[in-house]
Structure 1
Amino acid sequence: MEESKKGNLERECIEELCNREEAREIFENNPETEYFYPKYLSCLASHRAGVFRVAAVTPDSPADLRACVKEISNQCSPLPCHKDGYKDCIDGQAKYTCVCKAGWRGENCEEDINECEDFNGGCSQRCSNFPGSFRCLCEDGYFMHSNKRDCGDINECVLHPNICGTAICKNTQGRYECECPEGYTYNSTSKNCEDIDECAENICAQLCVNSPGSYSCYCDGKKGFKLSKDMKNCESVTECIPLNLEKNYQLLYLAEQFIGIPVLYLKFKLPNVTRFTAEFDFRTYDTEGVILYAESLDNSAWILLALRDGKIEIQFKNEFGTKVTSGGKAINDGLWHIISVEELEHSISVKIAKEAVMSINSPGTLFKQSQGFLETKVYIAGLPRRVGGALVKQINPRLDGCIRAWNLMNQGHSGVNEVIQEKQSKHCLVSVGRGSFYPGTGMAAFQINYDNLDSAEDWLINVTLTIRPSTDTGVMFALVSNETVPLALSIVDSNSSDSQKITVTIGNIIVAQLESKKLCTPRRVQVGLLVTKQELELAVDSHTDRSNSEQLSTLHQAMMANVVTYLGGVPDVPLGATPVTAFYNGCMEVKVNNRQLDLDEAISKHNDIRSHSCPLIMQ
């Protein structure tokens, strides 16, 4: 068809001149004819003589008539399509069709198609559009798969094994993380894990000790606080057994001062009196101690009323010599007994409940009169400091007991009631039972030799406690070496509201523990602790926990040096030396290596601890 058209055009309009009608016959349509003919006349004007028409001649004009005429009917010349967007130009009848490349559209292929607007161009991550096409891109930390659309994670931990330094590399989608153990934070500059000082964040309510990778909160146990269950806050140590702590100022407490000095000092200067007399009610569970000591003004004569093995003992000295006598029944049964000592003409009479138990021959009087007066110094419950070595038979002066209704030298209570009424520490508890009482305010210390003479073992710790706690937290038994606590046996609160734990710690590490519902009850519970350098055994109420922890080596080192034994608490030690610092509150008897400990024999003891009397439970 095109060849036919070109042939007609060649013959009719190039070799010869054609008019408008002839041109219409060639193109067979008006639009193309109307487009062609004006331009045809211009070609004639430019390339054929005799045609009078102004020719538009440009440098790009065709060289001859044939070229000029043929270009008229080619709608694609000059090219109407966008040069970047078109693939082909198709000539038509007075029109053209631009065939667009992929990624272009529009009549002239001039408009870029944004493929990224349609399902993100099929890209799994980022789509970047540019003229005529697009590209899929990956985020940092990803690589492009071979299909040029999907992205895959880069495992930086495998690609760069040392990327985190001393930390642990953890690969994540598109990135990686350098992880440190709990309590450490990552330093990206040094590529090291550095300790977090949690204490700097005031994370603890009271006291905080930072340690590598961790921290520990502590509460001031000596002020009655314990660590709460959240291990950060503090709360008061809880009373679990209320005690009857009623006192009476008419009952004089004989153990006010542990150092053994007298509780009271009285001086008498009496006319028309020649002999010594004393009468009072007495109550104790103690076996030994000084009840009363009296002496002359010049200290040359004296008399001692004491208790030894639970029985009354009399020692005296005058110008005629010295004497020691004991007798009668044991009266350390916790009951009130009327005791009277009376100097007669040739003897000293001792009565219990008005019945004579001793009559001691005494040539001459105990104390001489001076200018018609009998001057005497009387000391209650203790000895003057200078006297101790002058006794006929040495005695431990400390005595846990009470006296009441005293009548010395037939002078009644001698105004003593008024003196002691305002001082609570001199008042006795109205009701007590047998045992030792730790009020939660102090401790006692002993120097004990733990060398094991019966075995090849270097040392042996065999402790038996009989306890009736009144609060749920406190140190019962501890060994202290300098500023360390190589062994501690404590009662601590548990997560249960009706039970407590007995724990054994070496330093600040728990090596054994047992939980029981029978600790904070009216009944007494026996706790046993047996320790050698190889093994530790804790026994509570028929239950046992054994340990051969490596921490025993720490205890062994301490036992090879010097340790002090503490009952009822620990002294001031650095924070973190031991987990429990609260004082024990309650009754407790202690036996160490088959020896019953007597608090009167301690090297030190808080004055509030009662060696041989324990309050009764509040009814």
Structure 2
Amino acid sequence: MAVFCEAVADGLLLALSLALLGWGAEGQGNGRGMKEVSGSATVNLGQDRDIWRPLIHTTVNLSEITSIKSTFQLRTFDPEGVIFYGDTKNGDDWFVLSLKDGIPLMQISKEDVLVSVAGGPKLDDGKWHTLELSNQGKFVILEVDGTSGLVVGTQSKQPEEVLSGGLRLALGGILIDKEKMIVQFEPQMDGCVREGSWLNLSSPWETEVEELWPCYQNIQPGSYFAGTGFAIFNTSGFPVDADDGLKIELVGDFSQMNGTIFSIKSPRHEWTVALVADKNTNVVSLTLGQEKTLMLNSLNKLVIIFQRELLQVFQDEPGETPFSVSLGNLDVLTTWTEGRLAVGGLLGEGEDSVGSHFLTGCLEKIQVQGKDLDLDLAVKHMSISPHSCPA
């Protein structure tokens, strides 16, 4: 028990050290092909990169740390993802702070002892929340908006270990094998952090990206497509009953969309299904192979059901009745499990992930077969905010 308590205590002291996390939206080169960024500005954690790769990272000497209190603000609609990471001994001892089901989750490894602690209020409501980590005697406290969210008491009979050497810090990713963690989760975090006050350090951070993404002043739930990327899914992940058909439901202001909303393509058959919004002509077009159906873009909801021989389209416009389109020789249901579904772009030819005619706009809801589509689970996605749109 003493070893366990020491591991928790040292790990949580490391956690407090990790709260350094200072960064900014503008940076300067450091001569090593990276840009330096500094503290207190707002950063978008959802920026494109390898899903486990940190967005910001730095290395500091533990002897420079004198404060054990840090605060920052977090805003997200995303229930799951990495906030920050840190380690000592080149990754032998490490700490991860993330969200899981919207709740703060801390995972700590110290001398082969693994600890996982979760608690506090749900933070995925799209509001700015102030988080404070502090060490008060034998207790490590995580406060959320001035109220105690998670309290961990620690006491060890072992002599207190003096931490020394280098401390590696990272934002939005980790520097260890993900399999080492007790609780597995999806790492992408569509969220923003701002107004950090990080211990007593002012060391610059580094980033490999050319320019950090901004954060919108106001956000709403949904998925935002910036016109430069899309999400791709293997259709085999969505089972289809031939009798009930395939149902796709979309909610949003179609008059503010421009580009391909979704496309479906089968690699062994020369056909493409695509729903495209054109803001210039105020038209939404549904292409089925060589056939095209036009609708006005004054829509907020569209339900499309593929059946054996026809397609049904339901619109939310008052007085509008569902209409049907014959599929002819287009056998969508039979070949569905062999294809790909792209949201936010037009699929290219072949097996590559090259797309075009990308969507600009917000989809408030995307459902396939009655279930919300989580863009974080896509085979590939880029330039998308999966859980938030500008309001």
Q: TM-score range by the shorter chain?
A: 0.7 to 0.9
d(CA) in 1 for partners of 2:170 and 2:257?
Answer: 40
2:200 aligned residue (410, 422, 444): 410
Tell me, yes or no, if the aligned pair for 1:474 and 1:492 is still in contact at 8 Å. yes
d(CA) in 2 for partners of 1:316 and 1:270?
Answer: 18
- Structure 1 residue runs of 4+, over 6 Å off? none
1:593 counterpart letter in structure 2: Q
Tell me, yes or no, if the aligned pair for 1:338 and 1:352 is still in contact at 8 Å. yes
Q: CA deviation at 1:466?
A: 1.1
Over the aligned positions, Cα root-mean-square deviation in angstroms equals: 3.0
d(CA) in 1 for partners of 2:290 and 2:212?
Answer: 36
Query: Cα deviations across residues 337-395 of structure 1 (Å, max 9, x unaligned)?
Result: 11122345544321112322101244569x9545xx353111111122x4211101001
d(CA) in 1 for partners of 2:345 and 2:196?
Answer: 36
Tell me, yes or no, if the aligned pair for 1:514 and 1:540 is still in contact at 8 Å. no
Could you say which residue in structure 2 is the equivalent of 1:20?
Answer: none
Instruction: Give unpaired runs (5+ residues) of structure 2.
Output: 1-23, 27-40
1:464 matched to 2:249? The reply is yes
Which residues in structure 2 correspond to 1:477-492 (within 5 Å)? Answer: 477-482=262-267, 484-492=270-278
Compared CA separation, residues 423 and 279, structure 1 to 2 (3 A): farther
Tell me, yes or no, if the aligned pair for 1:258 and 1:398 is still in contact at 8 Å. no
1:504 matched to 2:286? The reply is yes
1:562 matched to 2:338? The reply is yes
Q: CA deviation at 1:304?
A: 1.3
Return 485-494 or 271-280, whichever deviates more. 271-280
Tell me, yes or no, if the aligned pair for 1:320 and 1:363 is still in contact at 8 Å. no
Could you say which residue in structure 2 is the equivalent of 1:541?
Answer: 316
Query: Cα deviations across residues 131-151 of structure 1 (Å, max 9, x unaligned)?
Result: xxxxxxxxxxxxxxxxxxxxx
2:304 aligned residue (525, 529, 548): 529
1:445 counterpart letter in structure 2: I
1:294 matched to 2:86? The reply is yes
Query: Cα deviations across residues 596-616 of structure 1 (Å, max 9, x unaligned)?
Result: 11122211111x211122123
Tell me, yes or no, if the aligned pair for 1:259 and 1:398 is still in contact at 8 Å. no
Could you say which residue in structure 2 is the equivalent of 1:596?
Answer: 372
Could you say which residue in structure 2 is the equivalent of 1:253?
Answer: 44
SS at match of 2:142: strand
1:509 counterpart letter in structure 2: E
Figure out how many residues of one structure are paired with residues of the other and give that number.
340
d(CA) in 1 for partners of 2:334 and 2:165?
Answer: 62
Larger RCO: 1 or 2 (CA < 8 Å, sep 6+): 2
SS at match of 1:547: strand
Could you say which residue in structure 2 is the equivalent of 1:263?
Answer: 55
1:357 aligned residue (149, 154, 160): 149
d(CA) in 2 for partners of 1:380 and 1:428?
Answer: 16
d(CA) in 2 for partners of 1:316 and 1:343?
Answer: 16
SS at match of 1:325: strand
Tell me, yes or no, if the aligned pair for 1:443 and 1:583 is still in contact at 8 Å. yes
d(CA) in 2 for partners of 1:324 and 1:403?
Answer: 23
Query: Cα deviations across residues 62-92 of structure 1 (Å, max 9, x unaligned)?
Result: xxxxxxxxxxxxxxxxxxxxxxxxxxxxxxx
Tell me, yes or no, if the aligned pair for 1:314 and 1:326 is still in contact at 8 Å. yes
Tell me, yes or no, if the aligned pair for 1:478 and 1:485 is still in contact at 8 Å. no
Could you say which residue in structure 2 is the equivalent of 1:451?
Answer: 239
d(CA) in 1 for partners of 2:64 and 2:295?
Answer: 69
Return 463-472 or 277-286, whichever deviates more. 463-472
Could you say which residue in structure 2 is the equivalent of 1:550?
Answer: 328
Compared CA separation, residues 356 and 375, structure 1 to 2 (3 A): farther
Could you say which residue in structure 1 is the equivalent of 2:10?
Answer: none
What is the TM-score when the length of structure 1 is the normalising length? 0.50
Instruction: Give unpaired runs (5+ residues) of structure 1.
Output: 1-246, 520-524, 575-579
SS at match of 1:424: coil
Compared CA separation, residues 263 and 255, structure 1 to 2 (3 A): same
Instruction: Say which one has the larger Rg.
Output: 1
Could you say which residue in structure 1 is the equivalent of 2:33?
Answer: none
Compared CA separation, residues 493 and 274, structure 1 to 2 (3 A): closer
Could you say which residue in structure 2 is the equivalent of 1:377?
Answer: 168
Q: CA deviation at 1:435?
A: 1.3
1:490 counterpart letter in structure 2: V
2:362 aligned residue (573, 576, 587): 587
Compared CA separation, residues 486 and 341, structure 1 to 2 (3 A): same
Which residues in structure 2 correspond to 1:314-393 (within 5 Å)? Answer: 314-319=106-111, 321-343=113-135, 346-362=138-154, 369=162, 373=164, 375-384=166-175, 386-393=176-183
Could you say which residue in structure 2 is the equivalent of 1:615?
Answer: 390
2:214 counterpart letter in structure 1: H
d(CA) in 2 for partners of 1:272 and 1:265?
Answer: 17
Compared CA separation, residues 347 and 593, structure 1 to 2 (3 A): same
Tell me, yes or no, if the aligned pair for 1:470 and 1:585 is still in contact at 8 Å. no
d(CA) in 2 for partners of 1:310 and 1:570?
Answer: 33
Compared CA separation, residues 450 and 302, structure 1 to 2 (3 A): closer
Tell me, yes or no, if the aligned pair for 1:450 and 1:461 is still in contact at 8 Å. no
SS at match of 1:427: coil
1:433 matched to 2:220? The reply is yes
Compared CA separation, residues 472 and 433, structure 1 to 2 (3 A): closer
2:186 counterpart letter in structure 1: N
Tell me, yes or no, if the aligned pair for 2:79 and 2:102 is still in contact at 8 Å. yes
Q: CA deviation at 1:471?
A: 5.2
Could you say which residue in structure 2 is the equivalent of 1:201?
Answer: none
Could you say which residue in structure 1 is the equivalent of 2:211?
Answer: 424
d(CA) in 2 for partners of 1:441 and 1:313?
Answer: 33
